[in-house]
């Protein structure tokens, strides 16, 4: 039988008794050189894939690209309660909405309700970030307004004190989540340093504040409040 030629197989002649397609000598060297780019590509891909694994783990640990359900049980509960609990942001917004519906656009209730809307949005962003379902607002339209504006101011004082206590109780639950800790601290500060003093001032002024009083109030959009963004 005639030995296979280069033109027969597309490679250099094979060795005797090795069968067709198994190159030797110079022929094998050419085949090996032809395969080298492929082997190098596979090797590079494997190395790149190995490098990506720790980066993926780091992303999950730092909060960037954090998978749904990454919050601890306590942190998840803290997030839900601060938004939808009886002393949370939904409840405060519903109370001030009821007051405004009964008494009209009076201060400081109007500005503080706007602030509560921003608080709700700040918390909702955390729900979305951590893949937690946003709970239903069970307070909207279901709060009975107080009979007088003086009582409204007193109710506002009580609501803000309870809100501060709520964040005080849950800050430790989110201490391993810096982003949540910052949001909770900001909202607590707004209730303690801005909303509460505004309602206290209103309670001492027939339950509401006029424009001049608002300019001297630490409430959202008040004179001293304009320089601050956390409200």
Q: Is the pLDDT of residue 42 over 80?
A: no
Residue 227 pLDDT greater than 80, yes or no: no
pLDDT of residue 58: 38
What average pLDDT is seen over the chain?
78
Task: For residue 215, name the pLDDT band (cuts at 50, 70, 90).
Answer: confident
Q: Report d(CA 183, CA 124) in Å as an integer.
A: 11
Please report the beta strands in 51-173, taking only residues with DSSP state E, as ranges in sequence order.
none
**Torsion sign, CA atoms 59, 63, 65, 69:** positive
Q: HSE-up of 130 (CA within 13 Å, CB side)?
A: 25
List, for residues 130-185, the tens digit of each pLDDT value: 999 999 999 999 999 999 999 999 999 999 999 999 999 999 999 999 999 999 99
Residue 123 confidence (pLDDT) above 90: yes
Q: Which of 9, 1, 52, 45 is nearest to 27 (CA)?
A: 9
Pick the more confident residue, 99 or 55. Answer: 99
Does residue 48 have a pLDDT over 50? no
Would you state the pLDDT for residue 31?
A: 40
pLDDT for residue 219? 63
């Amino acid at each position: 039988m005639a030995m296979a030629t280069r033109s027969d197989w597309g490679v250099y002649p094979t060795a005797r008794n090795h069968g067709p397609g198994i190159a030797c000598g110079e022929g094998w060297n050419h085949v090996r050189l032809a395969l080298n780019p492929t082997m190098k590509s596979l090797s590079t891909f494997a190395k790149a894939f190995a490098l990506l694994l720790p980066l993926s783990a780091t992303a999950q640990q730092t909060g960037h690209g954090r998978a749904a359900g990454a919050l601890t049980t306590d942190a998840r509960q803290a997030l839900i309660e601060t938004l939808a609990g009886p002393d949370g942001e939904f409840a405060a917004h519903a109370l001030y909405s009821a007051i405004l519906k009964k008494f009209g656009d009076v201060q400081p209730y109007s500005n503080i309700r706007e602030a509560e809307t921003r608080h709700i949005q700040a918390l909702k962003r955390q729900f979305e970030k951590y893949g937690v379902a946003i709970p239903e607002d069970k307070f909207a339209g279901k709060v009975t307004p107080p009979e007088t504006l003086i009582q409204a101011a007193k109710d506002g004082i009580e609501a803000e004190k309870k809100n501060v206590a709520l964040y005080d109780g849950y800050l430790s639950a989110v201490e391993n989540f810096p982003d949540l800790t910052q949001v909770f601290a900001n909202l607590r500060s707004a209730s303690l340093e801005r909303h509460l003093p505004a309602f206290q001032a209103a309670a001492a002024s027939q339950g509401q504040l006029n424009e001049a009083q608002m300019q001297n109030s630490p409430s959202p959009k008040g004179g001293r409040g304009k320089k601050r963004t956390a409200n």
